[in-house]
Amino acid sequence: MVFSLAKSLAVVLAAGLLNVLAVAPAVAQGTVRRHLVYFRDKAGTPFSVAQPQAFLSARSVARRTRQGIAVLPRDLPVNPAYVTQVRGVSGRPEVLYTSRWFNAAVVSCDSATLARITALPAVRSAATLNRSFRSVSPTLPPEQVAPAAARGTVATRAKYGMAYRQNEQIGALAMHDAGFRGEGMQIAVFDAGFPGVNQIPALQPLYQEQRLVSTRNFVDGGRDVYQRSSHGTNCLSAMAGNQEGFYIGSAPKATFHLCLTEDVNSEHPIEEANWLAAAEYADSVGVDIISSSLGYTTFDAPSVSYTYADMNGKTAISSRAATIAARVGILVVSAAGNEGANPWRYISAPADADSIISVGAVDSLGIRASFSSYGPTSDGRVKPTLAAMGRAAAVLAPNGTAFRGNGTSYACPILAGMVAGFWQANPTLTAQQVIAALRNTASQSTAPNASLGYGIPNFVKAYNALNPGTPLDTTDGRAASGEELGLFPNPIGDGLLTLALPAELRGKPLSVRVLDARGAVVGRQQLAASTATTAPLKLGRLAKGTYLCEVSAGSVRRTVKFVQQ
């Protein structure tokens, strides 16, 4: 449906943010649609790159300065005189917002009015963003996965609740223990709605500590985002959840901006224009990271859908916007897409954008989820960039309960939260240096592929590579001496197995747990203390699949992956 902004809405941060201009509703002489109107230039603008404080916040300017990024003419707001000319066209067109980066405006009007707008000397061209409107319908619940029947009871697992494994897998537990929980980092979340966020107990610290600093609704206008789809609530919780003993996300102390950009009741390029608007808003307020669990490939008729050839980072509106966001120093984290088992198969926009992190999905054992979209981009760049847990990932529902769901949508914020902590721990890095550090130390760094890109990153590995003089202790399954926990034969059938023990597990009573791909404990065994380098293990017959064997002695825990044939 078409939304008309209230007359009382004001321009935020002068003309620098994506300006929401207050006008009366259009008088429709035909079907009213939304259009992206491009201007020819920024000639005569009253703004200057020498005075960015007139259209960018101090935090936005500081982010650029810290990374050696200049304010460029693309950052200048649209010439207000051009906007006035559009508003003055007969038919009373409604200018919803303007785009600095695209030098354009999103205008709501009928086709006759649009023809008069495109005849203006200041206008270069126009493209229609939506072709039809649907009445609001109930949102389908997210895909849920039944919880595992049994779970571990060690202290850290009890502290993090169902979010334990997804944090552990990328080193976020060690990150938190080292004192990096996202403090001082600002994350903008782009999604389809955030109902319940202002009521969920695990998210109340956001309000109590004043770490939810802004909300914007780019679909309906205004600031109410606690509505529509619960997808945004799920994704935010994966980072911001902070209720010890129940659920802790990957960035429980970060500061957030919530942007509602997606209309789940239809699929048209207007939603990509909303993404663009939100990205420019995020830039203007000084956001460090964008977490976007949205993707665009196929639109409702008669809007023209993308093809795989369009996944080149230069065609889709959202991809072009994401690339510019990266150019101004924002670290963009985007879900790769859930098309891996579908005819489309490949990543979606804006995951094809250059210089961003596109996130694929794995299960708790690091095995690629079948739905996770494949790369590369159509111009041959490695995608996805990295991967995190998106199969049976734990998130929160609007009523505050925790459940497990599937999707790169969940892998994206889980990883984005770790990115925030990593950047916090290494504040002198640029956004692109952060991406390089995580990519260069990820599980497939030496052999990236079209399934998971450079693989699963780990905070400790990346941190230690950058800080060799002050390394953190690793808990990723590798002993401090460089020895690994081993298990053979692998793959296994029936019969006796043998554990190869690193030095730090010898001479101590050992507790052994075996977990399946969903994180359920399917086997336990206690081993007496021994100085031997190996230990026998009898598990019995397991169902075919991939498993994780976890061996612990006090606070020391090591893991090894194996396959049951």
Annotated active-site positions, please? Answer: 191, 231, 409
Torsion angle, alpha carbons of 231, 234, 237, 243, to 10? 140
The answer to whether 74 touches 16, Cβ cutoff 8 Å, is no
What ranges in 450-529 are assigned the alpha helix state H? 459-466
The answer to whether 99 touches 76, Cβ cutoff 8 Å, is no
**Burial of 245: CB neighbours in 10 Å, binned 0-12, 13-18, 19+:** exposed
Parallel/antiparallel/unpaired status of strands 186-191 and 289-292 = parallel
- When computed from its CA atoms, the radius of gyration of the chain, rounded to whole angstroms, is 25
Question: For residues 515 and 243, what is the distance between their CA atoms, to the nearest angstrom?
Answer: 25
155 contacts: CB under 8 Å, gap ≥ 6: none
130 contacts: CB under 8 Å, gap ≥ 6: 33, 34, 266, 268, 269, 270, 303
The answer to whether 381 touches 447, Cβ cutoff 8 Å, is no
By C-alpha distance, which of 430, 408, 438, 102 is closest to 279?
102
User: Which tokens hold the place of 503?
Assistant: 């030095």
The answer to whether 386 touches 362, Cβ cutoff 8 Å, is no
Distances (CA, A) of 199 to 9, 142, 207, 401, 420: 26, 19, 10, 12, 24
By C-alpha distance, which of 280, 275, 278, 282 is closest to 296?
275
Amino acid at 215: T
User: Which tokens hold the place of 380?
Assistant: 């041959």
Chain-centre distance of CA 195, in angstroms? Answer: 18
